[in-house]
Structure 1
């Protein structure tokens, strides 16, 4: 499939990006939870937060997902290696290797930490920029007892907006903000009319690879 993203598609993707990306102040936490994906810059950012003293523990969560199904290793193993390469010691790192989606990133990590007797009152979710709002909505449903904030690598729209795969993922994530709230997987978050219209147009233009049918 052609990887080029034309000007109209980039314009629409920017509208979706502006809704999906959350940025806000962090607060001291008990754990940094890096959500596994194909982008190892997420793992590097989790390591930077650890070095910044935001939390004493990094959990990297991920088995194999829709993009990483062909990897030889789990997302957690790949992320774990990156985190170690960025100076996080072994005793400050846990790997959760079973999750295949965002909800499981939360629930499986919660189970892992519970089994180890690690209490979490506050946590920081680390994800791709355009996954931050959905990750936060998911955590607030699946692990509501903890207070959550979200953080992402400081990468702007220009890094992702010209990449067809990223635009397709944004389209799928925007749709999931509605569908998954209806299914009870995450807390409801209103989607602006302009963002939903951008989703519908991009889906009509063929950026629908990750749309739930």
Structure 2
């Protein structure tokens, strides 16, 4: 993988802005925290709970490729512990520990609260658009507000997920934006010329680790 120079950072910011879509927040039936390697998602859920935007939190997530061995148990359990440490009562939290992808996150949450009308979904900044696109297909009947920890691209990398890994993640998710609507996983999303160019430049620079192996093999030819 190439070094992260100023050109790479410029293209990475284009993808960051594309993925990190804005949604106004209002009160909801529950706050849904999508499990991942980033405990700041749990922090954001706790913050919204203390603001009174919902009286219940559901954390959803088993253990994925990026969190194997990172937590003692599931992502949901780790997020629950974090929220409790931030003052959220344990009885206000449900941990869903089976989901391994966004579609399953949505499906399992729907089975827990099938009659929900308004939900706040909390995820990583660079995953907001994918969550929105997935909800449009998997649970269009609910009013969904999507938020994330409020920080910049420079602040997103951490101990368990480097800047290089973050850029590769964003590149892979742009590919999914184009490919997944045909599979029924997500609703179609616009891909502007600036996003396509940034994607192409970052693929050329070698940030392809989050692309499916068959796609990577085609690009390497």
Q: In the TM superposition, what is the alpha-carbon distance from 1:199 to its structure 2 partner?
A: 1.0
Q: Which residue of the other structure, out of 133, 139, 143, is the alignment partner of 1:143?
A: 139
Q: Structure 1: 5+ residue runs without aligned partners? A: none
Deviation by residue 1:102-157 (Cα, 9 ceiling, x = unmatched): 1111111111334xxxx210111101111111111111211111010111111112
Q: Runs of 5+ in structure 2 lacking a partner?
A: 216-221
Which aligned segments of 4 or more residues in structure 1 are displaced greater than 6 angstroms? none
In the alignment, the residues of structure 2 paired with residue 138 and residue 199 of structure 1 have an alpha-carbon distance, to the nearest angstrom, of 21
Cα shift readout 1:77-100 (whole Å, capped 9, x = no counterpart): 111111111111122100010111
- 1:182 corresponds in structure 2 to 182
TM-score using structure 1 length:
0.92
Superposed CA RMSD = 1.6
Residue 131 of structure 1 corresponds to 127
**1:110 counterpart residue number:** 110
> What's the counterpart of residue 219 of structure 2?
none
Task: State the partner residue of 1:28.
Answer: 27
Structure-2 residue corresponding to 1:154 = 150
Q: TM-score, normalised by structure 2?
A: 0.89
Alignment-derived partner of residue 5 in structure 1: 4
- Report the CA distance between 1:101 and its aligned residue: 0.9
Write the distance in 1 (CA, Å) between the matches of 2:171 and 2:37: 17
**Whole-Å separation in 2 of the counterparts to 1:54 and 1:22:** 20
Would you say the 8 A contact 1:171–1:207 is kept in 2? yes
The answer on whether the counterparts of 1:60 and 1:95 sit within 8 Å (CA) in structure 2 is: yes
Within 2, Cα distance between the matches of 1:76 and 1:200? 35
Q: Which residue of 2 aligns with 1:99?
A: 99
CA distance in 2, matches of 1:40, 1:142: 25
Counterpart-to-counterpart distance in 2, 1:64 and 1:180: 22
Note the alpha carbon deviations across 1:5-46, whole angstroms, 9 max, x for none. 221111111111111111231121101111111000011101
Secondary structure of the equivalent of 1:32?
A: strand
**What does the per-residue CA deviation read over 1:133-191, in whole Å, with 9 as the maximum and x for residues that have no partner?**
11111112111110101111111122237811111111111111111122111111111
